[in-house]
Structure 1
Amino acid sequence: MTENKYKFNIPTSNNGTLNIPLTEGNTVFVLGANGVGKSTLMHNLFSQNQNHAKRILAHRQTWFTDNAMNMTASQKKSTESNIKSSDTRTYSRWKDDYSQARTSLSIFDLINSHKIRARIIADAVDGDNIELAKEHSRHQAPIEAINELLAISNIPIKIILGKDEQLFASKNGSEPYSIAELSDGERNALLIGADVLTTDPNSLIILDEPERHLHRSIISPLLTSLFRKREDCVFVISTHDIHLPIDCQESSTLLIRSCQWQGKNIKDWDADLITADLSIPISIKTDILGSKRELLFVEGQSTSLDRQIYQLIYPSVSVIPQGNCREVEKAVNGIKKTETIHWINAYGLIDTDDRTPEQIQALLEKGVAAIPFYSVEALYYHLHIIEKVAQKISELTGQEATTLYQNATENIISDISQHKERLCSKLCEKKLRNDIMLSMPKHRDIQQRGQFNVTFDLNQILQDEENYFDSLVTNSNQMELLTRYPIRETQVLNRITSGLGLNKEQYENTVRKLILDSTEIKDFYRALLQPLTELIE
């Protein structure tokens, strides 16, 4: 990243000149009501960064004249130049002379990026460099990335590149039909995804009002997934939707309350920058609740594996990471205590952490399901899923599936055994933390003003766990070793993926693709997470 490459300077009436830091991999939301000057601000931002920025207008056209590449490469280049020049003009805040051309460019770029990838792979094959061809083939194809985004965003359609370089859609396995026949929201999601995914690396992406034509259950996961896929870019999002910056907790928010005009130009704005570590003031939060929402609170962060896989397994819910199990419980309890004033259904998912059956049942009655895994890696690296990935690779490459599976799993016992003491002590730490919290004195105990002591025989606790570990190794119980301990802290994950000829990112992308494509895989996971599945259903 080039230092000071991006500029976002705002004259304000309350803070002097605000210099908003823009760094690749980060997002800034510009939040404010109608009429506070957001459109002018976005126009100024583009003008300051036009050589390395793409602007996706609020008043964008969301319909297509057709579903094919209807311009040549030279026409595309000329049109892009004209659009960039137009976007620097003041009238671009409310008028677009290239609305139809923009949608044609989006389709051109999406199809062309797919062709370029295919050409690179073919060139490597023609050059007899099969390993290079395999490496390029493991990079996610743009249309495949679009389909993953749509699935994560609760849009049940799949985009297909057909003959004569035409784009088609299939809804829930239906016969393919032209993308021109998609709904407004589906087309808008497709256009936003195509524009962002085909943007040049290290660009500033300015997106005005992404929520247009899109339901809340769609736009939030769509944006967070796009941010993850384009961490090489900077995003500035202009919106009216208070929930978007709340959903993206690692973003900063520029609050625009009003602006002052001087003639036909805005002199300054009443604005404050709320960085990621601060809360958005309650005074601007909306009191209006939307339609019924299904919320699943999980452990982990917004960028972790948890959110991605649970959103695919349960596409009808909005998945919200809460960091740790206690925050998950607090979130679910907080919503359930106010059920008389809203229509939100909340569920929680946490790790079992050696809780007793009685404790697990008590949590379940509160809407929180506990699963018997140390972490989400147990879902990605389940032996059944490793086997399915091996079969998929076999279909693509012709390699023997059983050999791939054996290569991936043959070192699990030895790799995990090398870290016995650390893995056992980490597990014990997690269990003890839970025990300590459960043992904390209640207010009635404190009122007695006596002594309170909690004592643990750490030697015996660790020894018992190590004995159990040894029994798993003796019995070659790979599955229990993979699910019970923090395997991400060992080399076992890299050994599994390399045995399949993949790296971790490629493997995890493949797992998510399997969930997208296979009802059997989705049903497998839903059965594995039966307590949660029963809560949601």
Structure 2
Amino acid sequence: MSENKFKFKIPTSNNETIIVPLNEGNALFVLGANGVGKSTLMHNLFIQNRNHAKRILAHRQTWFTDNAMNMTASQKKETENRIKATDSQADSRWKDGYSQARTSLSIFDLINSENIRARNIASAVDRNNIELAKRHSESQAPIKAINELLALSNIPITITLGRDEQLFASKNGSAQYSIAELSDGERNALLISADVLTAEPNSLIILDEPERHLHRSIISPLLTTLFKKRDDCVFVISTHDVNLSIDHPESSVLMIRSCQWSGSNIKDWDVDLISSNDQIPETIKRDILGSKREILFVEGESLSLDRQIYQLIFPSVTVIPQGNCSQVERAVEGIKATEKIHWISPYGLVDSDDRTEEQIQNLRSKGIAALPFYSVESLYYHLDVIKRVASRLSSVTGVNSSSLFDDATKNIVRDISLHRERLCSRLCEKRIRDTIMSSLPKHQDIQSKNNFNLVIDVSSVLEKELTHFDKLITDQNLLGLISRYPVRETPVLTNILKGLRLTKDDYEGTVRKLIVDDPETMGLFKVILKPLTDLIER
């Protein structure tokens, strides 16, 4: 088959048309959130290639009325023609009047392909053409291929064709039972496998949301094996599961960002294409797939608290935690160095960790903001934020907002002073670990075969921090104390909440609601995060 037999033309929002290459032996994953026109785009793909395309719907029926052929060959042909005509209609994107017929067709095609193979072998033997019979027998029987697929996909069932052309299953050597009795996931895997294996040679196979009814531990190896067994076909897989495309790095990825409507029709899409030929490191690919065009890498783990507040303050970005500051730097630099993903704008947010002004400016030049915050609690429990929460509560409860604020903050110095040594050592631990990680030898250093030495005067680092802590206490610098140290490891947050008469969840929920409801509160956070705000909104 010649390259680019299939068409996939997408009108884009910049008044251009992107032509996605579809070549046999290749797969394209189409990613996009709900409401970005993914279903319409898949329908357009089918329309553009309807004579050579096989469509496996997202809203497919996954149960069988029986386990045998329940239509004749002529009925099968007539049903196929009706389905193809129906699939060309716009409403086929969300409804299917032939859901039961599709499963019957799948069973018919599977049994029929098994019978055709057997007849070809028998016909060759009858003509005493043993060599031809051998060649026919070398082609894997469809049901045997399905059993191999199921085994490789962690589904411990075996399918057999029994008397009266009925399909049966057995699990781990159990007695046979009708395939109608298979579990929902098992039936779905069987249907997808049958539809793909019995497709016409050199077909375009459009598979909508294969992850429906199937766990990733099943669908990912299932797709891998189907790609190999039908390397004469082109696969286009529409999915919400970013990891499916990551599991298949040899595939291309089309990311749908949004769509623009003209009346009741979509006129164009905003898309980005990562070709299978683009050599993008897997770690970077994992970060950008499913993300917006702007990505903010922050320190820490995948905690919802971090993601929620940064996502609300900067709704145009995707927030991805990256562990420590060195990992944040590597993530930002890695994307900036990859020309194939020039449409992504990466930013980083790290703790300033007593960096010099020169170091902070150097980070800024890389797209990384350094701020004097130990953790996300420094934002949630910033003094100005506490005042706004107190004001919101006052309007509801009638309690004076100043009294609420005073009750919330009056014990901060006392509560934090009790943990002086531990808080300072925890801050030093983070700083020293970051120093070690950023100082590890690179491969060039290792090639030079020089010894690697790193000496850290831990005592001096701690003494310096203790002195700084004592000054903050003396100055009654509440904001400095809350921002600099891990106050969640002290009674500080508990007593702030007690003073406001709120639970932790209620307080943090109130903060997030203020960001959404009150432009001034969002503006306050953008001022608190000014170095980052300047990077993102410049």
Q: Distance in 2 between matches of 1:207 and 1:144?
A: 22
1:206 partner amino acid: I
Answer yes or no: is the 8 Å Cα contact 2:11–2:268 preserved in 1: yes
Matched with 2:174 is: 174
Matched with 2:227 is: 227
Q: Distance in 2 between matches of 1:25 and 1:74?
A: 32
The answer to whether structure 1 residue 154 and structure 2 residue 161 are counterparts is no
Q: Distance in 1 between matches of 2:446 and 2:267?
A: 60
Matched with 1:238 is: 238
Matched with 1:194 is: 194
1:198-347 matches, cutoff 5 A: 198-276=198-276, 277-279=278-280, 280=285, 282-284=287-289
CA drift of 1:5 comes to 2.4
Matched with 2:122 is: 122
**CA displacement, residues 426-446 of structure 1 (integer Å, 9 cap, x when unaligned):** xxxxxxxxxx99994444269
Answer yes or no: is the 8 Å Cα contact 2:31–2:242 preserved in 1: yes
CA drift of 1:143 comes to 0.2
Q: Distance in 1 between matches of 2:214 and 2:4?
A: 34
Segment drifting more, 437-446 vs 183-192 = 437-446
The answer to whether structure 1 residue 140 and structure 2 residue 140 are counterparts is yes
Answer yes or no: is the 8 Å Cα contact 2:26–2:231 preserved in 1: yes
After superposition, the Cα gap between the structure-2 partners of 1:270 and 1:133, relative to the gap in structure 1 and judged at 3 Å, is same
1:244 partner amino acid: L
After superposition, the Cα gap between the structure-2 partners of 1:105 and 1:117, relative to the gap in structure 1 and judged at 3 Å, is same
Q: Distance in 2 between matches of 1:281 and 1:19?
A: 24
Q: Distance in 2 between matches of 1:142 and 1:177?
A: 19
RMSD: 2.3
Classify the secondary structure of the residue corresponding to 1:225. helix
Q: Distance in 2 between matches of 1:29 and 1:62?
A: 23
Matched with 1:108 is: 108
> Aligned match of 1:444 in 426, 447, 451?
451
After superposition, the Cα gap between the structure-2 partners of 1:278 and 1:262, relative to the gap in structure 1 and judged at 3 Å, is farther
Matched with 2:357 is: none
The answer to whether structure 1 residue 7 and structure 2 residue 7 are counterparts is yes
TM value normalised by structure 1:
0.54
After superposition, the Cα gap between the structure-2 partners of 1:217 and 1:132, relative to the gap in structure 1 and judged at 3 Å, is same
Q: Distance in 2 between matches of 1:245 and 1:17?
A: 24
CA drift of 1:258 comes to 1.1
Q: Distance in 2 between matches of 1:281 and 1:216?
A: 16
Q: Distance in 2 between matches of 1:248 and 1:197?
A: 20
Classify the secondary structure of the residue corresponding to 2:168. strand
1:501-512 matches, cutoff 5 A: none
Unaligned runs of at least 5 residues, structure 2: 292-300, 304-442, 455-538
After superposition, the Cα gap between the structure-2 partners of 1:94 and 1:288, relative to the gap in structure 1 and judged at 3 Å, is farther
1:135 partner amino acid: R
**CA displacement, residues 345-370 of structure 1 (integer Å, 9 cap, x when unaligned):** xxxxxxxxxxxxxxxxxxxxxxxxxx
Classify the secondary structure of the residue corresponding to 1:95. coil
1:424-443 matches, cutoff 5 A: 440-443=447-450
Q: Distance in 1 between matches of 2:16 and 2:41?
A: 16
Q: Distance in 1 between matches of 2:73 and 2:221?
A: 33
After superposition, the Cα gap between the structure-2 partners of 1:143 and 1:442, relative to the gap in structure 1 and judged at 3 Å, is same
1:255 partner amino acid: M
Answer yes or no: is the 8 Å Cα contact 1:26–1:235 preserved in 2: yes
Q: Distance in 2 between matches of 1:190 and 1:3?
A: 30
Classify the secondary structure of the residue corresponding to 1:104. helix
After superposition, the Cα gap between the structure-2 partners of 1:288 and 1:257, relative to the gap in structure 1 and judged at 3 Å, is farther
Segment drifting more, 207-216 vs 268-277 = 268-277
1:376-415 matches, cutoff 5 A: none
After superposition, the Cα gap between the structure-2 partners of 1:264 and 1:444, relative to the gap in structure 1 and judged at 3 Å, is same
Answer yes or no: is the 8 Å Cα contact 2:246–2:286 preserved in 1: no
1:12-27 matches, cutoff 5 A: 12-14=12-14, 16-27=16-27
Q: Distance in 1 between matches of 2:67 and 2:154?
A: 23
Classify the secondary structure of the residue corresponding to 2:39. helix
1:480-495 matches, cutoff 5 A: none
After superposition, the Cα gap between the structure-2 partners of 1:108 and 1:37, relative to the gap in structure 1 and judged at 3 Å, is same
After superposition, the Cα gap between the structure-2 partners of 1:437 and 1:112, relative to the gap in structure 1 and judged at 3 Å, is farther
After superposition, the Cα gap between the structure-2 partners of 1:288 and 1:178, relative to the gap in structure 1 and judged at 3 Å, is farther
After superposition, the Cα gap between the structure-2 partners of 1:26 and 1:283, relative to the gap in structure 1 and judged at 3 Å, is closer
Percent of residue pairs identical: 74
Classify the secondary structure of the residue corresponding to 2:83. helix
1:350-389 matches, cutoff 5 A: none
After superposition, the Cα gap between the structure-2 partners of 1:446 and 1:288, relative to the gap in structure 1 and judged at 3 Å, is closer
2:256 partner amino acid: I
1:262 partner amino acid: S
Classify the secondary structure of the residue corresponding to 2:259. strand
Moved over 3 A (4+): 278-281, 283-289, 436-443
1:190 partner amino acid: L
1:21-36 matches, cutoff 5 A: 21-36=21-36
**CA displacement, residues 183-240 of structure 1 (integer Å, 9 cap, x when unaligned):** 1110000000000000000111100001100001000000010000111111111000
CA drift of 1:139 comes to 1.2
Answer yes or no: is the 8 Å Cα contact 2:28–2:235 preserved in 1: yes
2:139 partner amino acid: H
Q: Distance in 1 between matches of 2:446 and 2:4?
A: 52
Aligned residues: 301
Q: Distance in 1 between matches of 2:81 and 2:103?
A: 15
CA drift of 1:3 comes to 4.8
1:137 partner amino acid: S
Answer yes or no: is the 8 Å Cα contact 2:255–2:289 preserved in 1: no
1:74 partner amino acid: S
Q: Distance in 2 between matches of 1:125 and 1:266?
A: 57
**CA displacement, residues 396-451 of structure 1 (integer Å, 9 cap, x when unaligned):** xxxxxxxxxxxxxxxxxxxxxxxxxxxxxxxxxxxxxxxx999944442699xxxx
Classify the secondary structure of the residue corresponding to 1:444. coil
1:175 partner amino acid: A
Q: Distance in 2 between matches of 1:251 and 1:91?
A: 30
Matched with 1:68 is: 68
After superposition, the Cα gap between the structure-2 partners of 1:42 and 1:134, relative to the gap in structure 1 and judged at 3 Å, is same
